[in-house]
Structure 1
Amino acid sequence: MASLKEVRNRIVSVQSTQQITKAMKMVAAAKLRRAQDSIIRMRPYAQRLSQILTNLSELTGESVSNPYTVKRDINRVLIIAVTSDRGLAGAFNSNVLKGVTSLVAEKYAAQMAAGNVEFVAIGKKGHEALLKKGYKVNGDFTHVFGKLSFDTVRVAAELAMDGFRNGTYDQVEIVYNEFKNVATQIVRREQFLPIVEKEKDENAKNTNIPDYVFEPSKEEIIQELIPKSLKIQVYKAVLESNASEHGARMTAMDKATENAGELLKALKLSYNRTRQAAITTEILEIVGGAEALAASR
């Protein structure tokens, strides 16, 4: 049985840890509110931009020729993995890395075997994990979340877009955590390039499409909107991941605080039992000594 001092030291250590996890939970909750507001504001904008692009494409008739819609034989692949800069967020980062691993195994095993799969890691944890596995990681986006903005994310999007446009990559995928609520994050694996055309509903009527006035022309507007839409798509994924990270960390720290509370209860019970046993032993020693003195008289 541990001594009273050892148990007391453990109690102090666990109490200190519990205070830290409580503080981290409160910080994560505050950051989550801001991150959640950002993604809630971004979703309608991204959806509206996508809808305008779809409407313009339908009005134009045939698909507008664009370097981001070209389909080629898939020889070289780029995967964008969005993780976080810090840990202590439960399975948040490991789930993304598992999603990346399963994506490669299911769709790009041959390309990986040929050494033709490359990665862009947005977030320090993903960058370190992919390098540790010996994968080729392009760019350094390990501190994007320190000053998260469209401009910082745009650089990563342009790296992938330029690589696809000049033929360096034939396919680009993005893997990230989508924010659903504080306790739930869903790993998404989406094809980024070439652009996936939405299935047309044959029963849908074009009467619902607004009567746009075009200046300069439909084709030029589409050519301008597609790159912007792609960058917004990556930025939205990063915002989703950011909100998911804070939700995951808040949940993890809440669970850690609860576990610390349970451990404190067990340690205090052990401390009381140890102390009680020590007191009982002392009483027995005193009684035994008293009886020995009485017998010697």
Structure 2
Amino acid sequence: MANLKEIRSRITSVNSTRQITAAMKMVSAAKLRRAQDAITQMRPYAEKLQEILQNLSSALDVSENPYAAQREVKRILIVSITSNRGLCGAFNNNVIKQAKTIIAQNPGARIQVLSIGKKSFDVFKKTDYAPGVGYPTEAYKIYEDLNFADASSIAECVMDKFEAGKLDKVYLVYNSFRNAAIQILETEQFLPIVPPEASSESTSQIDYIFEPNKEEIVTELIPKSLKTQFYKAILDSNAGEHGARMTAMHKATDNATDMLKDLKLTYNKARQASITNEILEIVAGAEALNG
């Protein structure tokens, strides 16, 4: 059994750790509220806009909509959306593992990984999958001041490369926020635009009336919809990060509390054993003097 000094040292250490994890949980909870409000307000608009985008893409010719062009998949871009910091469980590892799974599933393709978040950037920056010339070199810093303009500029760069034929397929890999305890890993095809699934009940072709004309829709609405979709994925990941960290810190605080109980029990047992030994030594010494 460890001596009393070692046990006291461990109790002090665990108690300090518990205070840190409890404080981090409170900070994450405050940040989560703001991030959750942002994504819950954004999600209905983004999802409806994406539905309209898919319907438009099915109504337009490929020549009219360059973002729906289906090509032989030789060049793939994976946008890996993680966080800048750790201590959030498997939040970042799940995204990185999924990106590596996509790489393994496409052995003949030229694959690049554009990292949104420092955790993904640190993993892929020294590999053959690091993005080449023309991509934002510091896209992982977007969380320092998360806003639509910065996300839009990154999305526009990716869209321009797809339109120019330098990319054949683009995936978004991120954690979708459901609640503080649940984040669902999503692998979403960003480009080319996925047409809506045909309904088995309806076989008639829908005739769309375009207002304004098709050219303005292609140049204005579709790019704006894609940028909104890209920004929504980042907001989802941002909210999911704070939820995952709050949950992880809550569990760490509970574990530290349980450990403190066990250590205090061990300390009391060791202290009682020490007192008993001292009493026995005093009694033995007194008996020796009397004898």
TM-score after normalising by structure 1: 0.89
Residue 120 of structure 1 aligns with which residue?
Answer: 114
Report the AA paired with residue 6 of structure 1: E
Report the AA paired with residue 3 of structure 1: N
Shift of residue 263, structure 1, vs aligned partner = 0.8
Give 1:214's match in structure 2, choosing from 201, 211, 215.
Answer: 211
Shift of residue 132, structure 1, vs aligned partner = 4.8
Residue 97 of structure 2 aligns with which residue?
Answer: 98
Percentage of matched positions with identical amino acids: 52
Greater shift after overlay, 67-76 or 260-269? 67-76
In structure 2, C-alpha distance between the alignment counterparts of 1:253 and 1:202, rounded to whole Å: 48
Residue 259 of structure 1 aligns with which residue?
Answer: 255
Residue 229 of structure 1 aligns with which residue?
Answer: 225
Describe how 1:264-275 pairs up with structure 2 within 5 A.
264-275=260-271
Residues 171, 52 of structure 1: CA spacing in aligned structure 2 closer, same or farther, 3 A cutoff? closer
Report the AA paired with residue 253 of structure 1: M
Could you list the per-position Cα deviations for residues 137-178 of structure 1 after superposition, in whole angstroms to 9, with x for gaps in the alignment?
352222211211111211221221121111221111110001
Report the AA paired with residue 241 of structure 2: E
Residues 165, 246 of structure 1: CA spacing in aligned structure 2 closer, same or farther, 3 A cutoff? same
Residue 19 of structure 2 aligns with which residue?
Answer: 19
Contact 1:120 / 1:156 at 8 angstroms: preserved in 2? no
Give 2:287's match in structure 1, choosing from 268, 291, 297.
Answer: 291
Could you list the per-position Cα deviations for residues 63-103 of structure 1 after superposition, in whole angstroms to 9, with x for gaps in the alignment?
66222111111111111000001100000000101111112
In structure 2, C-alpha distance between the alignment counterparts of 1:50 and 1:96, rounded to whole Å: 23
Contact 1:57 / 1:64 at 8 angstroms: preserved in 2? no
Residue 197 of structure 2 aligns with which residue?
Answer: 199
Report the AA paired with residue 98 of structure 1: K
Q: Which SS does the other structure have where 1:89 is aligned?
A: coil
In structure 2, C-alpha distance between the alignment counterparts of 1:92 and 1:247, rounded to whole Å: 10
Q: Which SS does the other structure have where 2:183 is aligned?
A: strand
Report the AA paired with residue 28 of structure 1: S
In structure 1, C-alpha distance between the alignment counterparts of 2:104 and 2:60, rounded to whole Å: 38
Where structure 2 has 5 or more consecutive residues not aligned to the other structure, the ranges are: none
**What value does the CA root-mean-square deviation take over the aligned residues?**
2.3
Shift of residue 218, structure 1, vs aligned partner = 3.7
In structure 2, C-alpha distance between the alignment counterparts of 1:174 and 1:14, rounded to whole Å: 40
In structure 1, C-alpha distance between the alignment counterparts of 2:57 and 2:139, rounded to whole Å: 34
Describe how 1:49-64 pairs up with structure 2 within 5 A.
49-54=49-54, 56=56
Q: Which SS does the other structure have where 2:273 is aligned?
A: helix
In structure 2, C-alpha distance between the alignment counterparts of 1:233 and 1:53, rounded to whole Å: 10
Shift of residue 53, structure 1, vs aligned partner = 3.4
Shift of residue 280, structure 1, vs aligned partner = 0.9
Shift of residue 241, structure 1, vs aligned partner = 0.4
Report the AA paired with residue 171 of structure 1: K
Shift of residue 246, structure 1, vs aligned partner = 0.6
In structure 2, C-alpha distance between the alignment counterparts of 1:161 and 1:285, rounded to whole Å: 83
Report the AA paired with residue 119 of structure 2: K
Contact 2:57 / 2:65 at 8 angstroms: preserved in 1? no
**Corresponding residue pairs, total:** 287
Q: Which SS does the other structure have where 1:192 is aligned?
A: strand
Report the AA paired with residue 6 of structure 2: E
